[in-house]
A and B are shown apart, each in its own frame.
Chain A
Amino acid sequence: MGFARPEASGHSSSRLGFTDILNSLEAQYRLPARIKEDFREAIELARRFNDEVIRPIALETDRKVMEDNDYLPRDFLHKANEWGLFTLWIPKMYGGEGMSMLSLYAFIEEVSSVCAGLANLIGAHYLGVSVLCSSCNMSITNRILRDVVRESKMGRPCTISLAWTEPGAGTDQSEGPLLPLAKVRTQAEKVPGGYVVNGSKVFISAGHVSTWHMLICYEDIRKPEDNLIMLAIKTGMKGFTFGHKEHKMGQKACVASELIFEDCFVPDEQVCFSKDQVSRLGISAKEAGLKLISMFPAVTQPGVAAIGAGVARAACEAATAYAAEKKVAGERLIDQEWVQMVIADMYANAVAARTVYMEAAYAAGLRSMIRLLFDKVLFSLTLYTPAWMFTHLVSPLFDLEIVNHIYRKLNFEWTSHEDERHMSGLGSLSKFSCTDLAVENCAKALDLMGADGTRHDAGAEKLLRDAKLLQIYEGTNEVNRINLFSQHIAHTMPGVRVFE
Chain B
Amino acid sequence: MDQSALTTHNDELKAFNDLAESFAKKELMGYVHDHEYPYAHDVTETIQTAKEAGLFGINLPLDWGGVGLDASTLAGIVHKISIIDAGMAGVLFTHAAALEIIAAAAESDTEHCRAIYETVSGPEGVPLAFQAYSSPAETEFPEVSGKGEHFLTGRLPLVVLGGMARYAVVAGTRQKTSGFSYYLIDLSTEGVTRSDPVLTLGFQACQAVDITLKDVPGLLIGGQGKGEVYFEKMQLRMSLAAVAISLGIMEGSFKEAFDYAAQRWQGGRNIVEWSAVRMKLAEMGIAIDVGRNCLAGICSEYDSALKDRSASAMAAAIHISELACSLASEGVQVLGGNGYMKDYGQEKRMRDARQARSLLGMNGLKKMNYIERIIEEARI
Chain A contact residues, CB within 8 Å of chain B: 63, 66-67, 165, 168-172, 178, 181, 183, 202-203, 246-250, 326, 328-329, 338-339, 342, 439, 443, 446-457, 461, 464-465, 468-469, 471-473, 476-478, 482, 499
Contact = CB atoms under 8 A, between A and B. Distances in A.
Contacts of A482: 276
A63 B351 CA distance: 16
A465 B201 contact: yes
A332 to B, nearest CB: 12
Contacts of B138: 326, 328, 450-451
B267 A171 contact: yes
A469 B340 contact: yes
A171 B199 contact: no
Question: Which of B157, B280, B337 is packed against the most chain A CB atoms within 10 Å?
Answer: B337
Contacts of A63: 199
A249 B332 CA distance: 11
B288 interface: no
B268 A448 contact: no
Contacts, number: 129
Question: Which range contains the number of B residues in contact with the other chain?
Answer: 35 or more
A67 B38 contact: yes
Contacts of B358: 446, 450-451, 453-454
B176 to A, nearest CB: 16
Nearest to B133: A451
A468 B329 contact: yes
Contacts of B333: 471-472, 476-478
B134 interface: yes
Residue in A178, A448, A468 with the greatest tally of chain B CB atoms within 10 Å: A468
Contact of B364 (A439, A448, A478): A448
B81 interface: no
Interface in B180-228: 198-202
B170 interface: no
Contacts of B244: none
A439 B200 contact: no
Contacts of B133: 450-451, 454
A348 B247 CA distance: 32
Contacts of B347: 248-249, 468
B343 interface: yes
B265 A168 contact: yes
Given A456-B199, A457-B198, A450 B363 contact: yes
B357 A447 contact: yes
> Which of A178, A455, A471: most chain B CB closer than 10 A?
A455
Contacts of B265: 168, 183
Contacts of A178: 266-268
A293 to B, nearest CB: 15
B267 A465 contact: no
B239 to A, nearest CB: 16
A172 B268 CA distance: 9
B139 to A, nearest CB: 9
Contacts of A443: 325, 354
Contacts of B337: 165, 170, 202-203, 472-473
B350 interface: yes
B362 interface: yes
Interface string B330-373: 00110011011111000100110011011001111100100000
Contact of A461 (B201, B340, B364): B201
Contacts of B365: 328, 450
